[in-house]
A and B are shown apart, each in its own frame.
Chain A
């Protein structure tokens, strides 16, 4: 320490602290972050001794991007306020999107129902009961045309939470653009397209790993040529965290997934300096404020070094970790739902202080059902208050240099690196998933958390402490999707099947089958051709199911 008085002052402080401790013990024997990282009583310059500012932290817009990916960050432009939504049929969801756009949302984020996410048409027996429940039901291009009716695709960017059948929904989006007269190259948005976390944590897989990875790299290849502004994948830690992981595991497993995608694309002959620019990420914003801020910073620094050192990229844009954030759905409580507004505010603030590129804030009623218009508005207003009123957006990465934040950033990075090394030793993420390794880690963490809540070691306000007696949930107005939605959607589907040119549909489905059998073919143009003549999502995925087989989960409990 160059600071002459430091040692003396520190000794004095420690002495004082000891005296205080002898009088009164602290609230708990050990303090940790929400994700279990041990916390010291105090961080000081010694905590980050050995940091070289330029190499380790650096400046915004420069490697290793710890402080952010753009040189001006929110002084230039706020993050995209993007509220994930969709329910019932295309008509209802279209109305909700227009409602959101009118209120100042700056990007769309489409939630699809489960049959759409798993490649079944609404009239498939496996789809019974699920139509329109967790998102909008899309069976064919006809539905997609209604979904984006009067929404100019050259003006908004659209993120679609779609994974196993991502190619099909992207094809539909391209076709809607064509019909609106928007050039494919001008479309912008994101498809989630991240199958590995589906195997690990979210469960909407269809095909086994090998053909799934092929579909993903087919999309990388196609988009690189046709839709240069499209984010071809959103490598997601969000759902890993929702499934119960710690913050370190969230970073580790997400980046390990990223490594697997880069390796798959390289094997296909794609250049990481090119496709690397279009990789995007998606993280959770959980309760522990400081840990979360540090998490985003650590993820950025670690990914930059992976892309530079491990994959040898030269293009800085291919080294930048750009990410979307959603506040943690699993922290919302059904009890005293108003408290959720406060939770969401803190989580959103962490995401902003962590330098997110786009943000979804959850609505307070989401522990019970899909959100109502009113609660969605409050959630959006939360972002606007942070952006326009809080002042935290007016200087870049304002918590940099905080001893605690920098130390936690280091620890999360190091913890994540340990996991990545373990996964490398298992032969990569695919092999690790096959062994059930990340699944087991996530479940262990989830179970530990549950036990901590039940023993009240972890306090959840309104749930295991500060409960109120009267039930306020029952009186609440909830959004409900009734069974008539399914009937209507099936009616539309029947009509479509009887009116379209079925000969062309059949031919194009057969072309997809041939393409599936030929590893060197790119399936994306073939899917586009089939979508254009109104082949349904279920028909296209049905052919692929026949050719590729279906994945069965690996249960490790």
Chain B
């Protein structure tokens, strides 16, 4: 492992009141094991906190995990705030209990990728590596 060079930095966030953090913690570990630096926010984060965190941490992406059904509300707030703060280049992706029907709407809103129930962690890792590399070049 080289000591210099660009590291992928990702914020993994649990927005709102949802306390189910099994998925968030599993993906945080998987991204770490793929060599990334994961800023883990813990539970009960507001969209404002999530976006400020990503900006302060110079994150390449924000991963949102949500199982409470409030995904439309939270994705929209986070994406709108990023726009407001001129930080739309920060990728937004997510997972949790998200019905397939809702995915096109979230992508249209500006989410980069949604990993639904049963998606392997490797799919998120590959997507991040590819998308961040494309962003830099």
The chain A residues found within 8 Å of chain B, CB to CB, are 114-115, 117-118, 120, 125-130, 133-134, 198, 202-204, 242-244, 330, 333-335, 367-370, 443, 446-447, 450, 453-454, 460, 463-464, 471, 473-474, 478, 481, 483, 552-553, 555, 557
Cβ-defined contact, B17 with A454, below 8 A: no
Among B40, B68, B69, B74, which residue has its beta carbon within 8 angstroms of that of A555? B40
**Shortest Cβ gap from B17 to chain A (Å):** 4
Cβ contact within 8 Å between B73 and A128: yes
A557→B28 contact, CB < 8 A:
yes
Interface centre among A129, A369, A464, A555, by most B CB within 10 Å?
Answer: A129
- Do B17 and A130 touch (CB < 8 A)? yes
- Asked if A463 and B118 sit within 8 Å, CB to CB, the answer is yes
A114 touches B68 (CB 8 A): yes
* Cross-chain pairs A/B with CB under 8 angstroms, 12 sampled: A114-B17, A125-B46, A129-B16, A129-B77, A203-B21, A242-B20, A242-B22, A243-B22, A446-B22, A447-B30, A471-B100, A478-B101
* A residues less than 8 Å from B117 (CB atoms): 333-335, 367-368
B28–A334 CB distance below 8 A: no
Q: Which residues of B contact A134 (CB under 8 A)?
A: 18, 68-69
Q: Mark B17-46, 1 if CB is under 8 A from A, else 0.
A: 111111001101110000000001011101
Question: Given A129-B73, A130-B68, A557-B40, are A460 and B97 also a contact pair (CB < 8 Å)?
Answer: no
Q: Which residues of B contact A117 (CB under 8 A)?
A: 17
Q: For the complex, what is the distance from the CA of A367 to the CA of B122, rounded to whole Å? A: 20
Taking CB atoms, residues of chain A closer than 8 Å to B19 are 114, 198, 202-204
Which B residues touch A443, using CB under 8 A?
A: 22, 25-26, 29
**Cβ 8 A contact of B16, one of A130, A333, A481:** A130
Known: A367-B117, A478-B101. A129 touches B43 (CB 8 A): no
Give Cα distance in the complex from A129 to B15, angstroms: 10
The verdict on B107 contacting chain A, using a C-beta distance below 8 Å, is: no
Other 17 A-B pairs with CB < 8 A, given A204-B17, A552-B42, A555-B40: A129-B70, A133-B70, A134-B68, A198-B19, A242-B20, A242-B22, A243-B20, A333-B117, A369-B97, A446-B22, A446-B26, A450-B30, A453-B120, A460-B118, A481-B69, A557-B28, A557-B40
Interface core residue of A118, A130, A453, A460 (most chain B CB under 10 Å): A130
Residues from chain B with a CB closer than 8 A to the CB of A115 are 17
Closest to A467 in B: B118
Given contacts A134-B69, A334-B118, A368-B117, contact A473 B99 (CB under 8 A): yes
Cα(A118)–Cα(B28), bound, Å: 25
Task: Tell me if B53 counts as interface (CB < 8 A to partner A).
Answer: no
A556 to chain B minimum Cβ distance, whole angstroms, is 10
Question: For residue B105, which residues in chain A have a CB less than 8 angstroms away from its CB?
Answer: none
Closest-by-CB residue of B relative to A129 is B73
List chain B residues, Cβ under 8 A from A453.
120
Interface centre among B16, B17, B22 (most CB of A within 10 A): B17
Whether B43 contacts A127 by the Cβ 8 Å rule is no
Determine the chain B residues whose CB is within 8 A of the CB of A446 once the complex forms: 22, 25-26
Question: Bound complex: CA of A334 vs CA of B96, how far in Å?
Answer: 11
Closest Cβ of chain A: how far from B65's Cβ, in Å?
12
Query: Are B17 and A126 interface neighbours, CB within 8 A?
Result: yes
Residues A553 and B120 in contact in the complex (CB < 8 Å), given A114-B16, A447-B26: no
Whether A244 lies near B73 (C-beta < 8 A) is no
Chain A residues positioned under 8 Å from B29 (CB to CB) = 443, 447, 557
Whether B99 pairs with A454 at a CB distance below 8 angstroms is: no
The answer to whether A114 touches B18, judged by C-beta atoms less than 8 angstroms apart, is: yes
Which 5 pairs show the lowest CB-CB distances between chains A and B? A203-B19, A129-B73, A114-B17, A334-B117, A133-B69
In whole angstroms, how far apart are the Cα atoms of A242 and B17 in the complex?
A: 18
B42 contact set on A, CB distance < 8 A: 552-553, 555
Bound: A555/B28 CA distance, A:
12
The complex places the Cα of A557 from the Cα of B68 at a distance, in Å, of 23
A333-B117, A368-B99, A478-B99 as given contacts; A450 in contact with B17, CB under 8 Å? no
Given the complex of chains A and B, what is the CA–CA distance between A335 and B25 in angstroms? Answer: 23
Residues of chain B contacted by A330 (CB below 8 angstroms): 22
Q: Which residues of B contact A483 (CB under 8 A)?
A: 73
Contact partner of B70 among A130, A243, A368, CB < 8 A?
A130
Inter-subunit contact B120/A454 (CB<8 Å): yes
Is B69 a contact partner of A369 (Cβ separation < 8 A)?
Answer: yes
Q: Which of B21, B28, B122 has the most CB of A within 10 A?
A: B21
* List of A residues within 8 angstroms of B26 by Cβ: 244, 443, 446-447, 450
